[in-house]
Amino acid sequence: MGFIALLILNVLFVPAAAGFLLFFLLSPRRSLLKTLLDELPERCALSAPKTGPGAVWLHAASVGETRSLALLVRRLRAEYPKLPLLISTNTAAGKKAAETLSPDAAVLSPLDFYPFTSAFVKKYRPRALFIAERDLWPNMISAAKAADIPVCIVNGRLSSRSAGRYALACGFMKYVFGKISGACAQTEQDAANYRALGMSPSKITVTGNLKYDLLERQPTKRDEARRVLARLAWTNSPLLVLGSTHPAEEQMLAREFSRLKSAVPEVKIVLAPRHLERTAQINASMQEAEIKTALYSEQDGNPGADCLIVDAMGLLTSFYSFATLCFIGGTIAEKGGHNMLEAAILGKPMIAGPHYYNTPEVAVKLIADGAAFQISEETFADTTIKLLKAGPETQNAGKAALETALSFTGATDKTMPVIREFLA
């Protein structure tokens, strides 16, 4: 049954691809076709191989998944210096990210059409295929299996919601999962979801999340953040840093700032929005609320400001490192929460709303350990004031945050023994 379903998918690929091309030809986005044409040799596995046979093949969806492999790539280079390293990704941005990891080859993955994936496998003849997270393409997996190339998931994640959707095609998914030789799951829940879809328990190892091994304990732009705070004359002020915020969270701050300022007159705010293109809108809304602002990009600073809006990438953890208290964005707005461990690894106490479904195991552990405090829009001001004032309690929460963050590291060490089995 699974084979027939895969056959049908491949038969439908050609008319679907033709429809896709026609859509772009008739749409305002037709200029993107030039990029597609430039990519076509790699997408159809027509370009010459860029490494010799026997490569370790890592596949990742795009930028985030590729970057999560950075430490794993370094370990592979150290332990297997003679094996070529091939990284494939689905996107041009992912390919650029892969190139920064210095593999022997970084390529766009072939379209998931069996003639293309089979041709790719025959050209490269890799030693093993390691797929990051959840980018499981049936024809890629089938072509590797047909060539006796072991397939292993690394840093694997599969939400219960996704598992439920996959269960609607249970026979087909069991067929695909049956071709996978091993899986390194991020959590016990991910492992349970793999088992529910027919993967043998003996193939699954819970290893943790590789991204957590990349947490910055010494942020690279810390000195720059220190200079900005000094220019604003904030060096000795209690500092609330709101990271990766969304509109609902900025509105909450605007409403409650006067209460914060009345209770803790020296408090200063660093606001790092998730989407920088909203900077002007955020600045205007803060000023409407009579909050004096400064922009990071305005290097002269504004010593009278109460709120610094960080309108540049790559600075959040550097400002976290100076925080008295951190707010984790995406938890009041229903976005699932952003990375709580970025603050925790720096020994910073934090507050977060109830919407942390992206990494529930992390949030629950931080809250249980007294490192994070769950809030609502109604309790934001009271909890923030209490923690800004409560010296020992806040310090203890920071110590607990660091200990909890360290407990989530080590995924690379747990993943390497599994990889060694497939490269032996």
Q: How far is it, in rounded angstroms, from Cα 184 to Cα 88?
A: 19
| Residue carrying the six token digits 């094996």 | 83
pLDDT of residue 121: 98
pLDDT of residue 227: 94
pLDDT of residue 37: 75
225, burial (CB in 10 Å: exposed 0-12, middle 13-18, buried 19+): buried
| Residue carrying the six token digits 């705070």 | 229
pLDDT of residue 27: 72
Judge whether 45-215+411-423 and 222-407 match in fold: yes
Domain range list for the chain: 45-215+411-423, 222-407
How large is the C-alpha radius of gyration of the chain?
A: 24
Q: Using an 8 Å Cβ cutoff, are 110 and 117 in contact?
A: yes
pLDDT of residue 34: 67
Question: Could you tell me which of 385, 327, 317, 384 has the C-alpha nearest to residue 353?
Answer: 327
Cβ neighbours of residue 250 closer than 8 Å, sequence gap 6 or more: 242, 271, 273, 282, 285, 286
pLDDT one-digit tens code per residue, 50-77: 999 999 999 999 999 999 999 999 999 9
Architecture of domain 45-215+411-423: 3-Layer(aba) Sandwich (3.40)
| Residue carrying the six token digits 């609330």 | 240
- The CATH class that applies to domain 222-407 reads alpha beta
Residue 202 gets which letter from DSSP? Answer: G
Q: What is the DSSP string of 115-141?
A: HHHHHHHHHH--SEEEEETT---HHHH
Q: Starting at the edge strand that comes first in sequence, how are the strands of the sheet with 293-295 ordered?
A: 293-295, 307-309, 268-273, 239-245, 325-328, 350-352, 372-374
pLDDT of residue 38: 84
pLDDT of residue 35: 73
Question: Could you tell me which of 324, 325, 270, 274 has the C-alpha nearest to residue 301?
Answer: 270
Q: Is 32 helix (H, G, I), strand (E, B) or coil?
A: helix
Can you list the residues of the chain whose pLDDT is less than 70?
24, 29-34, 301
pLDDT of residue 36: 74
Q: How far is it, in rounded angstroms, from Cα 202 to Cα 195?
A: 10
Separation in Å, CA 124 to CA 5, 50, 74, 247: 27, 8, 21, 47
